[in-house]
Amino acid sequence: MYKAFYGLNDNPFSIAPNPHYMFLSDRHREALAHLTYGLGETGGFVLLTGEVGTGKTTVSRCLLQQIPENTDTAFILNPSLTELELLATLCDELEIKYGENPTLKQLTDLISTYLLTNHKNARNTVLIIDEAQHLRSEVLEQLRLLTNLETNTKKLLQVILIGQPELQQLLKRQDLRQLAQRITARYHLLPLNKDEIGLYVLHRLQVAGRHEPLFTRKAIAALHKHSGGIPRLTNLLCERALMAGYGQAKVPIDHKMVNQAAVEVLGDIDAPSDKRWPFVAATALVLAFGLSFYLFNRSANDDSLNSNTALASNQTQQSVNPPALATIPSATNQSITASTSQLQTSPPVVNAQQQILRQAMLQSSSIDNAFAGLFGLWNKQPIIGLSACQAAQQQDLACYQQQGNWYSIMRLNYPAVVYLQDAQANVFYGVIVERQVEQILLQLGEQQFWVNKDWFDRHFSGTFEILWQPDGVLPREIGQSSSLAQVQWLENSLASVNKRRARLLTQFDGELEQQLMQFQRQHGLKPDGIAGNQTLVQLNLYLSQQGPRLSASSERS
C-alpha cells in the first residue's frame, strides 16, 4: 500500500524469512565462524543460542549455503518429539526407508548403516535442530548415543543445536554432562547495537529498492531503544512506522512515529504508575502553564528577530560582498526590495519583509512543492502519481537523502530540499538554491530569501535530500578481493576528493584502507574499510560533473 509512496519495490520489513533480505552483522558473522569451526574435522555437537528474533535461523540458513556439496543435511524444526519420533524424523529427512511400527533399535541400526555408508563414500552427515530448548533430556541422550559412531578422526554424525538461552541451562543438568562435554563450539548471539540497527534498516530498504535513508538518526535510536536490538521486533516497529508516515504523507520517519509505533506494537510503554500519576499530572500542568505564558510573551517577537537577522545579515558580512538587496519575488515576477540602509532606518519596511517571510514559512508545508522547485533547477519536472525519487529515476536522476548539518550540505555543493522548523516546531520545507559563503538563497514556495547560517542552523531539522546524476553504473562493493581496476578507481576517487595526487597501486593496501575509513568517518558512514553502496554513492556525489551546484567555487566547506 505504501510502496509507491516511499519508492519501494517490495515490503522491506516483512517478518517472513526471505533470503534476499539476509543481513549479517559482525555478530552474525562471528557466530557463523564458530559454527563453521565446530563442523570441522572433529565434528560432534555445536551450540548456537540467542534471544527470540536475534537471527539464529538467519545464521543457520547462511551456514547451510556454505556446507560442502558432499554433505547430507537433516533439518528438524519441531523438536517436541519422543526418542522414537526423533529417530523417525531423522530417517525421513535423510530419506532412509523403514517399515511400519519400527522399534527404537531398528531405527538406530538403519541410521548407523546410513552413516557408515556415507563415510565410505566420503560424504558427511549434519543434523540441525532448531528450537532445541524444547528437547527432552532423554531425547538429547539418544542424540548423544547416535554420535558415538565415529572413526579415529571424526564423528560420523555432526549435530547443530539452535535454541533460546534456556537451552544453555538445560545442558547444565547433571544427567546431560556427557553431552555437554562433546560440544566443540558454542556461541551466544547478542542483539544488534544502535549502529548495527541503522545498517540493518538501511540494508533492507536497499534490497527493497530505496537507496536513501528513510529513518532519521533519532528514529534509529528510538528503534534500538524499543526493540532492544532484536531484528524481528525492529521489523514490526518499522512496518508500523512506515504505515504511520504514509497515512500522514510525511518523509522521513522520525522518532515520534517510532515511539507511537512502539506503543501500538508493544503496548503502553514507559507509562507512569497510578500512584505517581497525580503528581506527574500536576507537575506537567504547572510546567505547561509557565511555558505557555513564556511563549506567549516571546512568540510575537521570536520570528521577527529571526527574520531581521536573516534579512539584515549583509551588515555583518561586508567581506563577503553578498547581494545588496533582500529580494522576495512574487508569483507575477514583481519584487519587493529593501536596501540594507532602509532595513535599519525604516521599521515599517522591515515589518513588511518579516511578514512576507513568516507567511512564506506557513505556506511551505508541502514537500511536493519543494521538490518541484528542486526539479526546476535541474530543468526537469515532477511526475504526477510518482514519488519524487521515482520521478527522478524516470528522468535519469537519483535521489539521495542524508542526515547532517550546514557543512554536510555545503560540502556536497548540490541544491537541496531541506526540512525546516519554525519557533513552534511546525515543519516546513525549502530549497537551497545558491550559496555565498555564510549566506544561502532559500526558496520557499515561489519566493526566495537570502538567509544567513545562524538563521538556517536554528531552523534546520537535520534532514536534506538532493538530486544527482550518476556518471555510470556503480560497482556493488570495492574491497580487498576486488579487481585491480576497481581498486585503482577507488584510489583515484579518494585522491580527487582530498585534492592530492593519486598513487599507482598493485593491490588494496593499508594506506588506501586508512584513506577510505577516514572518508567514511567524515560522512557518518561505518568505517569498515570496505567501499559499499553508501560509500560509493557518497564518492560519486563529489565526482559527478552533471547538474547545478550551490557555488561555482570548487571549495567545499
Pairing of strands 398-403, 460-468: antiparallel
CA 173-175-179 angle, to 5 degrees, is 85
Query: What distance in Å separates the CA atoms of residue 278 and residue 297, rounded to the nearest whole number?
Result: 29
Q: Which of 291, 425, 437 is nearest to 361 (CA)?
A: 425
Per-residue pLDDT, 391: 85
Cα–Cα distances in angstroms (integers) from residue 193 to residues 200, 202, 204, 269, in the given order: 10, 14, 17, 21
Cα–Cα distances in angstroms (integers) from residue 310 to residues 317, 359, 365, 422, 451, in the given order: 12, 15, 20, 14, 4
Per-residue pLDDT, 227: 92
H or E segment to which residue 52 belongs? none
Query: What distance in Å separates the CA atoms of residue 33 and residue 97, rounded to the nearest whole number?
Result: 35
Q: Which of 369, 367, 338 is nearest to 354 (CA)?
A: 338
Residue linked to cell 540497527: 197
Per-residue pLDDT, 373: 92
Per-residue pLDDT, 31: 84
Per-residue pLDDT, 344: 39
Per-10-residue mean pLDDT of the chain, 557 residues long, equals: 79 82 82 77 79 85 80 86 91 92 92 91 90 90 85 82 90 87 85 91 87 88 93 92 86 91 77 42 50 49 46 38 39 34 42 80 89 91 83 84 82 90 87 91 91 90 84 73 88 89 91 90 78 80 83 56
Per-residue pLDDT, 222: 95
Query: What distance in Å separates the CA atoms of residue 83 and residue 138, rounded to the nearest whole number?
Result: 7
Per-residue pLDDT, 42: 59
